[in-house]
Amino acid sequence: MSKTVDVLARYLPILEWGRTYNRSILTSDLVAAIIVTIMLIPQSLAYALLAGLPPIVGLYASILPLVAYAIFGTSRTLAVGPVAVLSLMTASAAGAIAAPGSAEYLEAAITLAALSGIMLTVLGLLRLGFLANLLSHPVISGFITASGILIATSQLKHIIGVQAGGDNWPAMLSSLAASLDTTNPWTIAIGVPALVFLFWVRSGFKRTLMSAGVPPRPADIIAKAGPVIAVVLTILAAIGFNLGAKNVDLVGAIPSGLPPFAVPSTDVALIEKLWVPALLISIIGFVESVSVAQTLAAKRRQRILPDQELVGLGASNIASAFSGGYPVTGGFARSAVNFDAGARTPAAGAFTAGGIALASLFLTPLLASLPIATLAATIIVAVLSLVDLKTPAQLWNYSKADFAAHLATIVITLLAGVEMGVIAGVTVGLMLYLWRASRPHAAIVGRVPETEHFRNIERHSVFTVPHVLSIRIDESLTYLNARWLEEYVLERVADQPEVQHVILMASAVNEIDASGLESLEAIHHRLADAGIGLHLSEVKGPVMDRLKRTHFLDELNGRVFLSQNRAFRELADDGGHAAPASDDMARGLI
Amino acid sequence: MSKTVDVLARYLPILEWGRTYNRSILTSDLVAAIIVTIMLIPQSLAYALLAGLPPIVGLYASILPLVAYAIFGTSRTLAVGPVAVLSLMTASAAGAIAAPGSAEYLEAAITLAALSGIMLTVLGLLRLGFLANLLSHPVISGFITASGILIATSQLKHIIGVQAGGDNWPAMLSSLAASLDTTNPWTIAIGVPALVFLFWVRSGFKRTLMSAGVPPRPADIIAKAGPVIAVVLTILAAIGFNLGAKNVDLVGAIPSGLPPFAVPSTDVALIEKLWVPALLISIIGFVESVSVAQTLAAKRRQRILPDQELVGLGASNIASAFSGGYPVTGGFARSAVNFDAGARTPAAGAFTAGGIALASLFLTPLLASLPIATLAATIIVAVLSLVDLKTPAQLWNYSKADFAAHLATIVITLLAGVEMGVIAGVTVGLMLYLWRASRPHAAIVGRVPETEHFRNIERHSVFTVPHVLSIRIDESLTYLNARWLEEYVLERVADQPEVQHVILMASAVNEIDASGLESLEAIHHRLADAGIGLHLSEVKGPVMDRLKRTHFLDELNGRVFLSQNRAFRELADDGGHAAPASDDMARGLI
């Protein structure tokens, strides 16, 4: 019985933490849930706006997904829901299908969540979480920076009250510039102060609170509730000055009530158009979420299981789709607030869901007069903190290849949009990796005098003899570098016509795949044709076990030595060439 | 002056071998050219048939491409021209555009050659030859086996004189089975004997010649001219029995003359449809050609330059396109004949081109009565020798991952065609590689008693202390395994609560990319939070140089030791824990 629970607990983490749940944990979770709920309401509305969806969809996406994650997720403190980058990606994908505001647009967003949920769940069940490794740190940071710039630029129109468009950065900027003569002074009068206030809340408010005697952690949490203050103040301003009549865009009437039951589209033509964006949304969302979850788990010495996280996020997105929401993932800001506010189990997330549900039942009439400019200011302040301008210089300094992947991601994302940006970053990173993997490290080695150690002849004063060539291979032999190995060995032999024996020192070879084996056979064949012996030394146990299953060792014209030292000693003696006859023959001999 | 020639000779290898050309080399090259010409004529006609093109196109593709390769190629003995696999791929790509026999179909084939030529040249100039490494040996051999089965099956209809179609193997077989009641007995009377004769020529004819006193090499070359005998005999039979009137398909009237000047299409819509097949044709052709060229070069201790080979094959394909041909590459059979017949420079290829040009000027009227069944028999015999049924068992035995890539390639090629087959093979191979690369090898190590060596605690009896954890990392730290490293180190620390110092032994780390560095920083940050020191040992020179350009070493709470032995000695003494107090503390101590 208990064993069954253990196995089940792997796929249903709720069974594990649920067993030890008590009143003290409940209190902690409830307090955290109240704080996160207050923070989430304006954020959810804002991100739905960014995604081109009705604001209420942001609330819908913050209810059932949290409950689903509480059941299936492995992080104790991750808070899932709409996030900036996925909202931008949703806008990009759904915008290619239909015009924002149309029923088709909403259907596309819901279908994206469903596809992404299915993909994440399948990747998790197949334990393919490693695919997220394809997104290197430089690619992710480049993508986040460029997305931040794109998002902030896209929201500027709401701050100054103009109509503008564009689906890449230059187009956005020029559309914005062309619209400058139609600005609405009333919108600016709301938007600019909201923007300044929110920037100040993020930077100076916490310090003000602390100097007023509030302890650091509560001060931090209160500062993060700054957007709520902006929301309340601008609603009051909109009502007081009747801004709706002055062409200031307001959120407008929101239907009160719980999320509807929605059904994602099963239209094959639509799915064909959406599967690539859905896959990218899945992977970007997973990487963002796992990074946050791992950081928070490490602080409390807890663990998360990446493959189960895929299932948890998959369940969240499926829940989002069936309740009329759009793609969600674990967000950094909300998870940090949840953690700081003392959440101890995923139940805090479920309680937050309850809070948002109450809000969507009772608070929506109050939000009708909220200016869109306030939400835009919330978004701009949130995303500009993601823009990281120090990384490019650091990468340039440390690794040109990583810099190239970073820059390619930024430039392509700004010029060709989020999907192409991610694809370009992954492609450039992978190409550079494969390029390096196809040119692995190897060295000709000789014996360090009076020791049994062998070192690179180019860096050390070592002893060699001209009829024995010792090559140390510093990587596993795989299909990516097999052809290189053939060229390397045969060229070294061509450079040294006296060679009678080649020793491949395999101390760093962890694996030889079938292509590597074929290359070894080809090398052996060509050396044997030329009357040269091929020998191996220091072959690792598992590699040797596999070689024994082939005919390679039976056909080998040379020997397999346990140590490079013994191989060199015996072969250097062979043919009476052991005593070096000239400087030329005893390179570096002391 | 001479220096300029040296530089030019890199891109125009003709400048190198042309300088030492003399009468003796000329004689060798001329003899080889005559032999290869005789062999190439039926082969070129047959492969054009396989590609769904008029037979004369096969001759066109065997003239200018050979001259272009003679100028730009680096192999002394490679013979370029139409080959079986590229003909099949051409049929697949052009067949998706138009019906065989139409002008659009021919235009698509010419455009494929042009696109492939441009791609190969660009890849060569950018030195991207390493991309061919993505095709592992198991993928290539699976692809060739499956292509051989597809090609042989597609030609059976010509042997029995029926109409049949199908663009995958099951469809071909069922279409063939459905047509069995319409067989033409006259066609069978030509096709089956031709097939049997050609199989016998390939296997038994050489032995017969040798027992008649012909030396092995000439016997081999004569045996390879067997198709010419079949062509002559079946032409005579077709004329003698007036087979054309008995519904036996004949080649029919071929326009005599030199290749026309053709212009590839610049239609964007056509290029959009053809660029993926053209890329696959380029890479498959390059891999086939380079393997052949390397094998032959090694036999005479010559070298080829893979990146310049790309340029040579690119020039050949561009030449093919502008002379009304289709994609070409270096073929195995023809190159081997060229080599065995004594060709010494690429001039032999140019002379062969002259021979084929003469044939297309004067021999084509004689070919009008050639039965298609003869050409089909030539193709079947040639490709069945490519089918390799031993490899799957060998791969299963040696490497399950390689077997999976091999099998995926065969199955997908048979069921979904050549393009999907190659893509599936490359994808499966790359996924399995990335999966393994994301789980690199590492081990907890301890000191071998009375030595300075450190070995895996799971395999050796070694000395450790509980407050020092030594982890040897056996691979470079890259973005693919960076996340794994974090998990591995933090889990090992979680398993051993007494740990005060972690030593990462980096003797096998050739590189740390930006993601690897970030993971090291994350590990350091989390260990430091827990009051644990992070130390490095045996960091290689180039890796250390790069680390010094970052803040990592300044912020590190531990030290960097030159040797693991010193690191362990000093840290094991730290805190008075050096003397092991119990069995538990001194694992494996002797």
What are the Cα distances from residue A564, in Å, to A468, A512, B538?
12, 19, 20
Name which of A133, A510, A549 is nearest B474 (Cβ-Cβ).
A510
Which residue of B279, B439, B513, B555 to mutate against A (max A Cβ within 10 Å)? B513
What are the Cα distances from residue A86, in Å, to A61, A106, A270?
12, 15, 19
- CA A435 centroid distance within chain: 22
Token pair recorded at residue B441: 């090898």
Q: Are strands A329-330 and A80-81 parallel, antiparallel or unpaired?
A: antiparallel
Over residues B347-374, the mean pLDDT reads 89
Contact A137 B515 (CB under 8 A): yes
Instruction: Quote the CA–CA distance of A206 and A210 in Å, as a whole number.
Output: 6
The vertex-B114 CA angle with B108 and B120, nearest 5°, equals 130
Any CB–CB contact under 8 A between A396 and chain B? no
Interface of A with B in 440-479 (CB under 8 A): 440-441, 459, 474-475, 478-479
- Distance of residue B358 Cα from the nearest chain A Cα, in angstroms: 39
Contact A399 B301 (CB under 8 A): no
Count of beta carbons in the 10 Å neighbourhood of residue B48: 26
Contact A481 B395 (CB under 8 A): no
Q: Is A267 helix (H, G, I), strand (E, B) or coil?
A: coil
Name which of B301, B435, B486 is nearest A494 (Cβ-Cβ).
B301
Instruction: Quote the CA–CA distance of B335 and B224 in Å, as a whole number.
Output: 12
- At residue B329, φ and ψ (nearest 5 deg) are -160, 180
pLDDT band with cut points at 50, 70 and 90 for residue B124: very high
Choose between B450 and A178: higher pLDDT.
A178
pLDDT band with cut points at 50, 70 and 90 for residue A574: low
Structure confidence by residue, pLDDT tens digits, B18-74:
888 888 888 888 988 988 888 888 889 989 989 999 988 999 999 999 999 999 998
Name which of A433, A526, A541 is nearest B298 (Cβ-Cβ).
A526
Contact A480 B133 (CB under 8 A): yes
Structure confidence by residue, pLDDT tens digits, B309-322:
999 999 999 999 99
Residue B7 has pLDDT above 70, yes or no: no
Q: Which of A80-94, A283-297, B100-114, B503-517 shows the lowest per-residue confidence on average (mean pLDDT)?
A: A283-297
Contacts of B153 by beta carbon, 8 Å cutoff, 6+ apart: B169, B172, B173, B176
Residue A444 has pLDDT above 90, yes or no: yes
**A393: chain B residues, CB-CB within 8 Å:** none
C-beta of residue A483 within 8 angstroms of C-beta of residue A518: no
Over residues B134-141, the mean pLDDT reads 87
Residue B576 has pLDDT above 60, yes or no: no
C-beta of residue A506 within 8 angstroms of C-beta of residue A539: yes
The vertex-B266 CA angle with B259 and B331, nearest 5°, equals 45
Residue A326 has pLDDT above 70, yes or no: yes
* Residue linked to tokens 């009705």: A54
Instruction: Quote the CA–CA distance of B476 and A118 in Å, as a whole number.
Output: 34
Residue B589 has pLDDT above 50, yes or no: no
Residue A582 has pLDDT above 50, yes or no: no
C-beta of residue A476 within 8 angstroms of C-beta of residue B439: no
Contact B514 A486 (CB under 8 A): no
What percent of chain A is predicted at pLDDT more than 70? Answer: 95
Contact B399 A513 (CB under 8 A): yes
Q: Of A462, A478, A536, A484, which is closest to residue A505 (Cα–Cα)?
A: A536
Under 8 Å CB pairs connecting chains A and B tally to 132
Contacts of B455 by beta carbon, 8 Å cutoff, 6+ apart: B445, B446, B448, B462
Contacts by B205-211 with C-beta closer than 8 Å and gap 24+? none
Residue A588 has pLDDT above 70, yes or no: no
C-beta of residue B375 within 8 angstroms of C-beta of residue B267: no
pLDDT band with cut points at 50, 70 and 90 for residue B120: very high
Average model confidence (pLDDT) across chain A: 87
C-beta of residue A80 within 8 angstroms of C-beta of residue A349: yes
Contact A433 B480 (CB under 8 A): yes
Contact A441 B510 (CB under 8 A): yes
Residue of B nearest to A439 (CA): B130
Name which of A130, A481, A508 is nearest B508 (Cβ-Cβ).
A508
Specify the pLDDT at position A255: 77
pLDDT band with cut points at 50, 70 and 90 for residue A2: low
- Distance of residue A526 Cα from the nearest chain B Cα, in angstroms: 7
Look up residue A129 and give its DSSP letter. G
* Residue linked to tokens 């296997």: B203
Structure confidence by residue, pLDDT tens digits, A153-189:
999 999 998 988 887 899 999 999 999 999 999 999 9
Interface of A with B in 505-544 (CB under 8 A): 508, 510-511, 513-515, 517-518, 526, 529-530, 541
- Distance of residue B353 Cα from the nearest chain A Cα, in angstroms: 31
Which residue of B441, B479, B565 to mutate against A (max A Cβ within 10 Å)? B479
**B136: chain A residues, CB-CB within 8 Å:** 479, 482, 513-515
Residue of A nearest to B290 (CA): A483
**A509: chain B residues, CB-CB within 8 Å:** none
Can you name the residues that pair with A469 across neighbouring β-strands? A502
Any CB–CB contact under 8 A between A429 and chain B? yes
Q: Provide the whole-model pTM.
A: 0.80
Most confident of A125-134, A209-218, A562-571, B298-307: A562-571
Count of beta carbons in the 10 Å neighbourhood of residue A507: 16
Any CB–CB contact under 8 A between A551 and chain B? no
Q: Is A477 helix (H, G, I), strand (E, B) or coil?
A: strand
Residue B515 has pLDDT above 80, yes or no: yes
- Distance of residue B124 Cα from the nearest chain A Cα, in angstroms: 14
- Distance of residue B482 Cα from the nearest chain A Cα, in angstroms: 8
- CA A342 centroid distance within chain: 26
Count of residues in chain B? 590
Name which of B397, B494, B514 is nearest A301 (Cβ-Cβ).
B494
Residue B481 exposed, middle or buried by CB count within 10 Å (0-12, 13-18, 19+): buried
Average model confidence (pLDDT) across chain B: 87
Q: Is the dihedral of CA A123, A124, A128, A131 positive or negative?
A: positive
Specify the pLDDT at position B577: 41
Contact A511 B486 (CB under 8 A): no
C-beta of residue B248 within 8 angstroms of C-beta of residue B190: yes
pLDDT band with cut points at 50, 70 and 90 for residue A3: low
C-beta of residue B40 within 8 angstroms of C-beta of residue B336: no
Look up residue A561 and give its DSSP letter. E
Residue B81 has pLDDT above 90, yes or no: yes
Can you name the residues that pair with B250 across neighbouring β-strands? B371
Contact B397 A475 (CB under 8 A): no
Instruction: Quote the CA–CA distance of A352 and A64 in Å, as a whole number.
Output: 10
**A441: chain B residues, CB-CB within 8 Å:** 510
Q: Is the dihedral of CA B507, B510, B512, B516 positive or negative?
A: negative
Any CB–CB contact under 8 A between B138 and chain A? yes
Any CB–CB contact under 8 A between B265 and chain A? no
Contacts of A171 by beta carbon, 8 Å cutoff, 6+ apart: A165
Q: Of B574, B578, B581, which is closest to residue B558 (Cα–Cα)?
A: B574
Structure confidence by residue, pLDDT tens digits, A397-439:
999 999 999 999 999 999 998 888 888 988 898 988 888 888 8
Contact A511 B436 (CB under 8 A): yes
Name which of A394, A395, A515 is nearest B137 (Cβ-Cβ).
A515
Residues B411, B415, B420, B424, Cα dihedral to 10°: -20
Residue B6 has pLDDT above 70, yes or no: no
**B407: chain A residues, CB-CB within 8 Å:** none
Over residues A255-261, the mean pLDDT reads 80
Name which of A136, A474, A518 is nearest B515 (Cβ-Cβ).
A136
Contact B398 A474 (CB under 8 A): no
Choose between A39 and A61: higher pLDDT.
A61
